[in-house]
Chains A and B, each alone.
Chain A
Amino acid sequence: MKLDRYHLKADETLSVFEFISNGPNGAIRKIIDFQPTGLPGLYNLAFGDKHPTTGEIDDLAISNNLDTDKVLATVVTALYAFLDKYPEALVYAIGSTPARTRLYRMGITRFYKEMQEDFYLFGRIGKEFYGFEIGKEYEGFLAQRKFM
Chain B
Amino acid sequence: MDLKLERNTKGFWHNGNLCKLHIMTKVEELNQSKKPIIAIDKSLNKYQGKTLFPEKLALANEQLQGVKLPPKMKHSS
**CB nearest to A145 among chain B residues:** B75
Q: Which residue of B lies closest to A35 (CB)?
A: B57
Residue of A nearest to B1 (CB): A7
**Most chain A beta-carbon contacts within 10 A, residue among B35, B44, B73, B76:** B44
Question: Is A12 in contact with B40, judged by CB distance below 8 angstroms?
Answer: yes
A7 & B69 in contact (Cβ 8 Å cutoff)? no
Q: Which range contains the number of A residues in contact with the other chain?
A: 35 or more
Interface secondary structure of B, over-half rule: loop
Whether B64 contacts A129 by the Cβ 8 Å rule is no
Q: Interface size for chain B: under 10, 10 to 19, 20 to 34, or 35 or more residues?
A: 35 or more
Check if B63 sits within 8 Å of A140, measured CB to CB. Answer: yes
Considering only residues 51-70 of chain B, those with a C-beta below 8 Å from chain A are 51-53, 55-57, 59-61, 63-70
Residues of B within 8 A of A18 (CB): 41, 44
Whether B2 contacts A4 by the Cβ 8 Å rule is yes
Give the distance in Å from the alpha carbon of A78 to the alpha carbon of B39 in the complex: 11
A residues 13-67 touching B (CB-CB < 8 Å): 13-18, 31, 33, 35, 37-39, 42, 44, 46-48, 57, 59
Distance, CA A81 to CA B51, complexed state (A):
20
> Most chain-A Cβ atoms within 10 A of its Cβ — which of B60, B63, B65, B73?
B60
A65: shortest Cβ distance to chain B, in Å? 14
Q: Could you tell me the distance in whole angstroms from the C-beta of B15 to the nearest C-beta in chain A?
A: 37
Query: With A9-B40, A129-B70 given, is the CB distance from A16 to B60 under 8 Å?
Result: no
Residues of B within 8 A of A (CB): 1-3, 31-32, 34-42, 44-45, 47-48, 51-53, 55-57, 59-61, 63-70, 72-73, 75-77
Pick 29 A–B contacts, CB within 8 A, sort by A: A2-B31, A5-B3, A6-B1, A8-B37, A8-B39, A9-B44, A10-B39, A10-B40, A11-B40, A16-B52, A18-B41, A35-B52, A35-B53, A35-B57, A39-B64, A44-B61, A48-B52, A59-B53, A59-B56, A77-B36, A77-B38, A84-B35, A94-B59, A120-B73, A128-B67, A131-B70, A144-B73, A147-B76, A148-B77
